[in-house]
Every structure is written in C-alpha cells, then in structure tokens.
Amino acid sequence: VLRWSVAIKARDLLYKYFGQLELLELRFSEIRVQFPWHDAFTTKVTTQTSLAFEKASIIFQIASTHSSIAISQNRSDPEGLKRAFNYFKTAAGMLTYINDNFLHAPSTDLSKEVVKFLTNIMLAQATEVFFEKMIDEKKGPAIVSKVAAQAAYLYTGLTEEVKEFMGRGIFDRNWITLIQIKAKYFTAQSHYHRSIADTAAGKHGDSLARLNVADGLAKEAHRLGRNFNSDFVSTYSPTLPPDAGTSILELTKSLQTLLTEKREEASRDSDLIYNAVVPAEAALPVIDKLSVAQPIPIQEVYGNPDVQKVIGPD
C-alpha cells in the first residue's frame, strides 16, 4: 500500500503515460515493442508486443493506485471518507473497463474472473466507507441497516468467489478469512441498526430477536478476528495491508462489546416491561439492501479537467 502523497504522484504519471499510449496507438498502431509485466498475484512474467496489453496493464496499475489512495485516507475525517468512497469507485471503474475491452488476457491478474472479483472488492469497500459515512452523519437506523445489508451481501458473495481461486496461487487463505469476517460483521451491523428502528416502532420482540442474532454474529466475527490477527503475517499476504490483523481485531471487538451490552439491556427491558414474544430468526422480515456504490467510468475520470491538465496537450 503506497503512502497517499506517493500514490498521487504515481497516479499522475500513470494517467499521463496511458494518454501517451492512446496517442501512440492512433498514430503508430503497427509498432512492435516488447512490454514485460510481472503478474500481480503469481509474479510470473508475461511479455507481449501488444499495445492493448500494455494499456490494460497500466489501467490495472491505475486501479491499484486508486485503491491505495482510498485505503490511505483518514476515515475519521468526513473529507477522508468522501475521498475514499470516490477512489474505490474509480478503481472499480478502471477494472470494469479492462473486463469490457480486453478480451484475451495473457496473465492471471488480467483474467476476467480475477478482474471481476477485484471490482467487487472495490465496490464492497466503497459500500463499507459509505456505511461509515452514514454513521458519522448520524443517519436514521432503518436506512443504515439497509446499507449494512448491502455490504454484507457483497462480502458474502466475495466469500464464495474467492474460494474458487484457492490452490491456484492467486489469493491466499487470509483473503477468505478476512472477507468472511467482514460478511459476519456487516450482517451483525445490519441487524443491530434494524433493531434500533424496530424499538422505535414498538416492535420490541423483533428488536430483541435481531440483537440476539447480531450478538451471535459479532461474537463469531470477533473469534475469527482474534485468530486472524494472531496468525497474520503481512509478508505472507503482500496484497493485504500490513495492519489488516490489528484493524479487523479492533473493529470486531468494538462491535461485540457494544452488542453484548445492548442485548443484555434489551433482554432486561423485555422481561421487566414489555414481555414481548421474541420470534425466531427465520420469522424476522428480511432487511432490504440499498446499493450505494457503482463503478465510475474511465471516460468520466479522464474527462475531469484536473486529469486533463495532468495529461497535457497531444
């Protein structure tokens, strides 16, 4: 993961170089220059004389750089949240462009299945940032629960996708564990915020049932988080941030502590005041999902006046 200032400089160089490649392709389409690239996951070297391969590789690097910029943001700052949300979406847009325009990938990292998976990771992280933004802005619990449900849905889908890559030298087991934790974490968040809305609506039985579900999921997420943190060695998973273990441990511990307290409080209130019937989890209404993150097209990125200044005249 690059530091923000370094990543911005790298991004601008990549923007400019890609612009030059576009011009080169228009004016000297038959040019034959060897372009060697190390695969981002297998480290295998692929060399081609295709300008299309060089362009796809550069766009992949731009997506990676945008992701690094997003990750490096201070998400306790509202402006940092906005930048992170935007950069995750632009990274998704770059990756989408690769899948839509480069059909014959010579390397694993540019293959359709891998690029699709990475695109979905960017959108899941963008949704996660949007959830944090809504918490920061103290939005209503009903809508917050829907955004959390969308994040849980995306991470759950990624859990199934990443299993297909195991044993192929693409993603290691840490990826699976981290994504599984995020899926449980956001499912718990979704039930927790819906429980707040249920309480406000006088649905005390439903609220306690959701807190029971959320508390169980939070405990499981924290158990996995502890194991992940104790086993995580960043050098074995260079495609994950070096603080991935401590970050997920703090996140899951905080939620588990909160939910245990809230569940015990709601249980006491139910026994002493409401005496509400607590339905089984299967009987609870499904929480609607709210999609909040879509890829930003590459045309929109390159159409930005600031990017045009970076690229410069032909």
139-283 adopts what CATH topology? 1.25.40
> Is residue 121 exposed (0-12), middle (13-18) or buried (19+ Cβ within 10 Å)?
buried
The torsion angles phi and psi of 308, rounded to 5 degrees, stand at -60, -35
Please give the Cα distance from 207 to 209 (Å, whole number): 5
The answer to whether 1-138+293-314 and 139-283 have equal CATH topology is yes
Q: State how far the alpha carbon of 164 is from the alpha carbons of 44, 172, 179, in Å.
A: 20, 11, 14
SS3 content of the chain, % helix, strand, coil (to 5): 70, 5, 25
pLDDT in tens, the chain (314 residues): 556 778 889 999 999 999 999 888 888 777 788 999 999 988 899 999 889 999 999 999 999 999 999 999 999 999 999 999 999 999 999 999 999 999 888 999 999 999 999 999 999 999 999 999 999 999 999 999 999 999 999 999 999 888 888 767 688 888 899 999 999 999 999 999 999 999 999 999 999 999 999 999 999 999 999 999 998 887 778 778 889 999 999 999 999 999 999 999 999 998 889 888 999 999 999 999 999 999 999 999 999 999 998 888 76
Domain boundaries, the chain: 1-138+293-314, 139-283
pTM of the full structure: 0.94
CATH superfamily of 1-138+293-314: alix/aip1 like domains (1.25.40.280)
